[in-house]
Structure 1
Amino acid sequence: MRRLPITPPPAGERRTPVRAVVALGSNLGDRAQIIADARDALVKLPLTTDVVMAEPIESVALTLDGLDETKPPYLNTVALLTTTLAPSMLLAHLHGIEREHGRERTERWGDRTLDLDLIAYGRVQSDDPHLLLPHPRAADRDFVLAPWLTLDGDAELVGYGRVADLLAALRAQA
């Protein structure tokens, strides 16, 4: 797989704009307001335009042990954006937005005020442990695929296939 640039391009060189997919989730606090504020923060990202977000959906909390109905439910959605930020820089901005909204990384897959995952960055694939692209579990998550499909009926998850087909297969297993 391709390693991703961590630094900006050399002076005078411009990156080609890329369509990125960001998943948003919240299960603590005023979830709807947190998601709306995160959308506003995405709109303000440098070198980023055309931010659109699907209507949020509610889902059961997913933990390391599977679905857990005893945990607060999540509000999830997906945003599409066009950016010339390098994927690693975009991810750093996403982590910053999480911190601004009180995200604490104390428990893997634990409750959180805000979770922002970089699902896809154009057609880039990466096995860098700090930035796996596409997101390794996106193809298995209805709460990512369903909102994404509402924004882009022709969406494709690189290396996995059409989002519509992935979603249909997930729902057939349920």
Structure 2
Amino acid sequence: MTRAVLSIGSNLGDRFAFLQSVVDGLRPLVVAVSPVYETAAWGVEDQPDFLNAIVIVNADDVDEWGWLRRGQALENAAGRVREQRWGPRTLDVDVVSVDGVTSDHPELLLPHPGAFERATVLIPWLDVEPDAVLAGHGPVAALPFSSEGVRRRDDLVLNSGWMDS
């Protein structure tokens, strides 16, 4: 069984619906879904604010490359266009961590580079896994990151299906 931490974000179109599409697309594999957070864009700052969340998933037959392919398929289904690095996007699905695996392959860097300092990843991750550990960096709660500008959106709750019956 492999366990992956996926960071999801959107700042174009129906941002919340794009995040929900990831949860829906991975529904049978979803173990936990964080609250949704809103943050200003960084890198290229002249763009709409992002909605972000963390999804933790488990599967028997998916390795780190499988999680990357699944994330890319969800991005493609959401009409993701890669025109500008750190530019606006309908959906971004980043593989943050997979069972502590490290990789320096240019197509799949693990843990995700920059995750150790990005509040948009770390704050929601801690919401669903307070004892989270990021390979090569240690306990997430002990990492020095700023929560400035990160706002929890309690009015937006991703439906994981756990309570559906």
TM-score bin, normalised by smaller chain: 0.7 to 0.9
1:158 is matched with 135
Q: Does 1:170 align with 2:145?
A: yes
- Contact 2:8–2:91, Cα closer than 8 Å, also in 1: yes
Q: Report the number of matched residues.
A: 148
Paired residue for 2:89, among 106, 112, 115? 112
Q: Which of the numbers 130, 135, 138 marks the counterpart of 2:112?
A: 135
Report the 3-state secondary structure (helix = DSSP H, G, I; strand = E; otherwise coil) of the residue aligned with 2:12. Answer: coil
Give the 5 Å matches for 1:46-85: 49-63=29-43, 68=45, 70-83=46-59, 84-85=61-62
CA distance in 1, matches of 2:67, 2:129: 21
For residue 7 of structure 2, give the secondary structure of its aligned residue in structure 1.
strand
Q: Which runs of 4+ in 1 moved over 2 A?
A: 171-174
Report the counterpart of residue 149 of structure 1 in structure 2: 126
Q: CA deviation at 1:171?
A: 2.6
Give the % identical residues: 38
Q: CA deviation at 1:53?
A: 0.9
1:170 aligned counterpart, secondary structure? coil
Larger radius of gyration: 1
- Whole-angstrom CA distance in 2 between matches of 1:80 and 1:41: 13
The alignment yields a C-alpha RMSD, in angstroms, of 1.7
Secondary structure of 2:101's match?
A: coil
Change (3 A) 1:81 1:172: closer
The answer as to whether partners of 1:24 and 1:35 remain within 8 angstroms in 2 is: yes
SS of equivalent to 1:159:
coil
Contact 1:42 1:51 in 2 (8 A): no
Partner amino acid, structure 1, of 2:137:
Y
- Scaled by the length of structure 2, the TM-score of the pair is 0.84
Tell me the distance in 1 between the aligned counterparts of 2:56 and 2:147. Answer: 26
Q: Residue type matched to 1:43 in 2?
A: R
Quote the Cα distance in structure 2 between the aligned partners of 1:105 and 1:50. 26
Asked if the contact 1:27–1:112 (Cα under 8 Å) also holds between the matched residues in 2, the reply is yes
Deviation at 1:140, TM superposition (A): 1.1
Give the TM-score, by structure 1 length.
Answer: 0.80
How far is 1:51 from its partner? 3.1
Distance in 2, Cα, partners of 1:110 & 1:157: 26
- 1-side partners of 2:42 and 2:114: how far apart? 12
Query: How far, CA to CA, are the matches of 1:32 and 1:150 in structure 2?
Result: 18
